[in-house]
Structure 1
Amino acid sequence: METTAREFNQRSSQILAAAARGETVTVTKNGVAVARVVPISEDDVPPYPTEPMGEIDLPDLGLPDLGDDEIEETLRGTGS
């Protein structure tokens, strides 16, 4: 199946449903293929958890604790 970027924008739900049914959909822009929506299989799902893993213990680096205002002041003028 092939669709334009505009059609994909307008009909994304139907296009994703087609992929869920096993169809591969090529998205074109100005007649040039720019993306492909493909169905995923169980093999494509990573065998490890991808959900948040809870609290993370960070090592103490001996750095001073800065408040929001101090951080903003430090970053001001650095292009951030």
Structure 2
Amino acid sequence: METTAREFNQNASKILAAAERGERITVTKNGRPVAVLAPVGDEVLPVPPYPADSMGEDDEAPVFHSAAPVDWSAGRGGYLEGFGA
């Protein structure tokens, strides 16, 4: 089943009843799919390639460093210009 975001908003209880009966519903917005409503116990969603812990850190995730450290102590006329410093 497919429904628009507007139809979902206006008919949420009917659409949820369809999911309860076992149907998968694709919700579209401006003609493109944005969500899938599926019955509980349906297929498990994939795990992101770099899951993060509760603090958002992951030792295996890629880390990007700048070429040189930034000197934030430059003050006026430096990096902080335009930020009220």
Structure 1 stretches of 4+ with a deviation exceeding 3 A read none
Gaps of 5+ in 2: 45-85
Cα distance between partner residues in 2 of 1:12 and 1:4: 11
The residue number in structure 2 matching 1:36 is: 36
2:9 maps to 1:9: yes
Q: Deviations over 1:33-63 (max 9, x none)?
A: 0001000129x7xxxxxxxxxxxxxxxxxxx
User: Taking CA–CA contacts closer than 8 Å with sequence separation of 6 or more, which of the two structures ends up with the larger relative contact order?
Assistant: 1
Q: Residues 51-66 of structure 1 correspond to what in structure 2 (within 5 A)?
A: none
Q: Where is the helix percentage greater, Structure 1 or Structure 2?
A: 1
- Cα offset for 1:27? 0.1
TM-score w.r.t. length of structure 2: 0.48
Alignment: residue pair count: 44
**One-letter code of the match for 1:10?**
Q
Partner secondary structure for residue 35 of structure 1: strand
Identity %, equivalent residues: 65
2:77 corresponds to: none
What TM-score, normalized by structure 1, do the two folds share? 0.51
Cα deviation digits, residues 2-58 of structure 1 (max 9, x gap): 00000000000000000000000000000000001000129x7xxxxxxxxxxxxxx
